Chain A
C-alpha cells in the first residue's frame, strides 16, 4: 500500500519528440493518495492507458519520476513494484482451472497453500465464482473470464495499488453495475488504492471518490464528481461530463463583462480584473444546461431565445434554443411548463464560467497545487 506520486512525468513514444503534440503524456505532477478510489476518465487515445502502464511499470516514462511513497520506482519492474493490473480484455491461463488462476499470483510469491485456499475462496465468494472454481478457464464466457482476470488482481491484498484498464468493456450492462458495486465494496473492505480507467462518466462517478479527467495527454481536472460538474476547470470537462454537456459560447470582451451577438453578460469586478491581466486568444463562456434559468414569461433581465426543438426524456425535457445565433441546450424539469416558440432565460452568475484558451478563469484563485492544470 502506498501513495503514488507522479513527478514532472512525461512520455513520448517517439525517440526525439519535437513538440508537445509528440507526447502521449504531457508533463504532469499528480498524487494518488493511499487508499483512494480514483477514476481516470477521458476519451479514447488521450493517454489513459499509457499513464496506467507507466504506473504499473509495463512502460518506462521518457521523463520524470514515478514514486511509491518516498521510493522512486522508475527502474523497478512490475514484479518488484507489487502492483495489480486488470486489462481491458480478459487474460486467463487457459490450461488452469479457475481456482488455479486465482491462486497463481499467490503461488508466484510463495504463499502457503493453506493461506492461498482461504484467499481464493474469499475472492471467489465476492465475485460469485464459487461454482466455477473447478472448471478449466478455457471454457468460460467472456464475462466469467474477466471476473477471473479481476479476481487475480484482487486476490493479492498486499499490493501497492490495483489498476483497472477499462475492465468492464466486455461485460454486459446488468453485470457491469453489479461488478462496479463489488469493486467499491472491495475497496471499502481492504482500503487499497484503486485507479480505474474508463471513458464512461457514469462508471467513473459511481466507482470513484475523485476523478481525474484526461484530455490530450494531460490531467485537465482532478476533483469529486460534483466539482467536475459544478465547476469544470477546462471546457473539455464541461463538454465531457454531463448529458448533454456544457453550453460553450465564444464571446468577446465588452465594458463591464463579455458579450456575443448583441447579448451582454456582466462579470464581477474581480473577474474583469483577472481577464484584463490574462493573455488569451479565445474566450468562451460556459453554462450547464441544468443551470440555465427558464422564466415563465418576459422578465427584466431575461434574454429571449427561440425554441427550435424539444426532446422529452421522460423525467425531464431538453430544449434546444437559439440565442442570438448560438445554439443552446437547456434542461427543463418535468413540472415546468414548456415554453412555446420563445423562451425567456437568464444565466445565474454563480454558474456562468469564463474560459480563456479553454481553461477556467476565476476571480479568486486558490486552487490546490496538485490541481493546477498546465497552461
Chain B
C-alpha cells in the first residue's frame, strides 16, 4: 500500500502552532532573550552568555527562598492530600446533606487569592481578629504573625490548607463516586477490613484524580505569591518570602532583569522536573 503524501495537511496544524507560540513560546523567548544579555536601553546591550545563570545559582538569597519553598510545598501536599481524601471518604453520598456538603466545600475555592489573604490578615490579628484574639486571650497562646516568623509561616500554610483542601476533597469525592457498588459488595464477601477496602479498592480507583490533585497543588503552592504578600509582605524578616516574591522583587523592585530572567527559567525547569517526577512515580507500576 502506498502512503498518500499530502504536505498541505501541515497547514492544519498551523492554528495550534500559533496558539502555542503566542501563549507559551514567544513570551518565554523574551525571557530567554533577557537571560543571556545585559540590557540597559534600546541601543546598549551586551551578550553575557551563562553569567546570569551562574550568578543566580550562587545567590544565597535564592537558595534560602528555594529551600523555604520546597518545605512549604511539601507541607501543603502532606496535609492537603490526606486531609482531602479523609474528607471525601466521610462526606455523605446521598440526599440533601451531600448537596449541602458539596456547596460548603466549594465556597473557599470561589474566593480570590488576595481576598483570602486579607480575610486571614484580619482574622489572625491579636487586637481585632477573632482567631488572634481567641488564641492570645482565651487559650493564652502567644500568637502574632507580624512579629513571629514561625507564626507567620504556619498562618500561610493554614491559609492554603483552608483555601485548597476542598479541591482535593472534591476531586477524590468524584473518584469515589465512580466506584461501582459491586466492588464494595465483593469486598464484604471477601471479608476485607475497612483498611483493605481503602487500600485495594478506593485508593487505586482514586489514583487518576489524585494525580491531578497532587500536580495542581504542587504547582500552585510552588508558585504561591499573593497570600504571604498580603499577610506580611513576606516577613517577618524573610520567613515567608517564597520564590515568586523573591523573583518579583528582583525583577520589578531592583530592575535586575537579566538575573530575574535567568532565575525564571530555572524556576520553570524545577516545576517541570518535579511535576514529571510526580507523574512518573504515580503512574509507575501501571504495566506489569
Contact = CB atoms under 8 A, between A and B. Distances in A.
Interface in B177-233: 182-183, 185-186, 188-193, 196, 200-201, 204-205
Nearest to A109: B191
A89 B182 contact: yes
B288 interface: yes
A219 interface: no
Contacts of B285: 95
A104 interface: yes
Nearest to B190: A105
B196 A108 contact: yes
Contacts of B288: 97, 135-136, 138-139
B190 A87 contact: no
A315 B215 CA distance: 66
Contacts, number: 59
A96 interface: yes
A93 interface: yes
Contact of B189 (A84, A136, A138, A139): A84
B204 A95 contact: yes
A93 B182 contact: no
B178 to A, nearest CB: 13
A200 to B, nearest CB: 21
A108 B191 contact: yes
Label chain B's interface by main secondary structure: helix
A108 B193 contact: yes
A78 B193 contact: no
Interface in A132-167: 135-136, 138-139, 149, 152-153
Contacts of B188: 58, 77-79
A221 interface: no
Nearest to A104: B190
Contact of B186 (A83, A87, A94, A95): A87
A93 B200 contact: yes
Contacts of A85: 185-186, 189
Contacts of B191: 78-79, 82, 105, 108-109
B185 A58 contact: yes
Contacts of A77: 188
B189 A78 contact: yes
Interface of B: 182-183, 185-186, 188-193, 196, 200-201, 204-205, 285-288
Given A85-B189, A89-B182, 19 more contacts: A53-B185, A78-B185, A79-B191, A85-B185, A85-B186, A87-B185, A91-B183, A96-B200, A104-B192, A105-B189, A105-B190, A108-B191, A108-B192, A108-B193, A135-B288, A139-B287, A139-B288, A152-B190, A153-B189
The 5 A-B pairs of least Cβ separation, nearest first, read A136-B288, A91-B186, A105-B190, A108-B191, A79-B191
13 contacts: A53-B185, A58-B185, A87-B186, A91-B186, A95-B285, A104-B190, A104-B192, A108-B196, A109-B191, A135-B288, A152-B186, A152-B190, A153-B189
